[in-house]
Amino acid sequence: MLRFVAKRILMIIPTMLVVTLVVFLLINITPSNPGRIILGGDATEEQVAQLNHELGYDLPLLQRYGKWLWDALHGDFGQSYYTRRDVFEEIGARLPYTLKLTLLSLGFALLIGLPLGVLCATKQYSIADHSLSTLSMFLAAMPAFWLGLLLMLQFALAWTWFPAGGVTGGWKSWVLPTATLCVGYAASYLRYTRSAMLDNTRQDYVRTAMSKGCSGASVTWKHAFRNSLMTLVTLTGMSLSNLMGGAIVIESVFSIPGLGLMGVTAIRRKDVPQVMASLVVLGVFFMVMMIIVDIVYAYIDPRIRAKYQAGQYRNARIKKEAAE
């Protein structure tokens, strides 16, 4: 188990190398001129060329990547072309907002989606099942930013219950962004929980448990739900990356000064150091999450734990589970 985790952690390194190289090449498909960006329109050509030289921007592309990598490995991710601030400092200041938004939304999405999904599955074809399934379908089709705007229109502008944006209003300023981001995920968790539970309640072991005289609740939670957890853990891991993506949009709608808002601005301005640094942070965060998901797998499923201990076919098994 320990070896497996160590191997997965080590795998982050080559993955990040490839990912950063690809993104570096992508950003630089079309030329840009950071010297001109920093100095503005008034600077002479010589000054621009001088600054580009200092930034190492006159080097060939791959050499520039090498230089970026070398500095990054020494903890220096460079300065933003625009704000001239150390990018890591800036990310450090913004990351808490994004994390807060993401984790709050994930938490509420799970809290709402899982129990309702179980309810829909245990009471299949009931009124509650039909209305919740239909509602979740509607919510899944709503673009998140639109939902955010509608909530803002009603609760912030018409009724002024909550602030329309920013983070200065204490807990109140988190209500609308969290609600916006979590609703879509709660809906998809509901759908997946429902279908996983329905899959499992058709299995033989559920009938066995029933015939042994287990109560309905015990069968639902201890047998069917426990086996559905596998699918749900995979899904949670996967949706974390989407949640981060969703946060980018919600931050723009509610003007929360998080990582996403910074990333979008950096991309629009071609601020290479900032784009690269936010990518590294998000990429590492995501991969660590995936490792945690794999460990949680082993924790909730003794069959997989046994596989780890046997040390055979573990990757194949996990990959297969994930693909399914």
Q: Which chain residues interact with another protein by CB under 8 A?
A: 15, 18-19, 23, 25-30, 124, 137-138, 140-146, 149-150, 153, 157, 191-192, 194-195, 198-199, 241-242, 244-245, 248-249, 252, 263-264, 267-268, 270, 275, 279, 282-283, 286-287, 290, 319, 323-324
CB of 130 to another protein, least distance (A): 11
Please tell me the total number of residues recorded for the chain in this structure: 324
CB of 267 to another protein, least distance (A): 4
Burial class (CB in 10 A: 0-12, 13-18, 19+), 277: buried
Select 24 or 97, whichever has its Cβ closest to another protein: 24
CB of 78 to another protein, least distance (A): 16
Other residues' Cβ atoms within 10 Å of the Cβ of residue 116 = 22
Distance, CA of 109 to CA of 172 (rounded, Å): 18
| Ramachandran bin of 119, using left for φ above 0, alpha for ψ from -120 to 50, beta for the remaining angles | alpha
Q: Which residues pair with 79 in a beta bridge?
A: 86
CB of 213 to another protein, least distance (A): 28
Distance, CA of 179 to CA of 276 (rounded, Å): 30
Select 106 or 279, whichever has its Cβ closest to another protein: 279
Taking each helix axis from N to C terminus, what angle separates 272-300 and 61-73, rounded to the nearest 10 degrees?
60
Select 51 or 281, whichever has its Cβ closest to another protein: 281
User: Are 225 and 199 contacting, i.e. CB atoms less than 8 angstroms apart?
Assistant: no
Select 34 or 263, whichever has its Cβ closest to another protein: 263
CB of 82 to another protein, least distance (A): 14
Select 270 or 305, whichever has its Cβ closest to another protein: 270
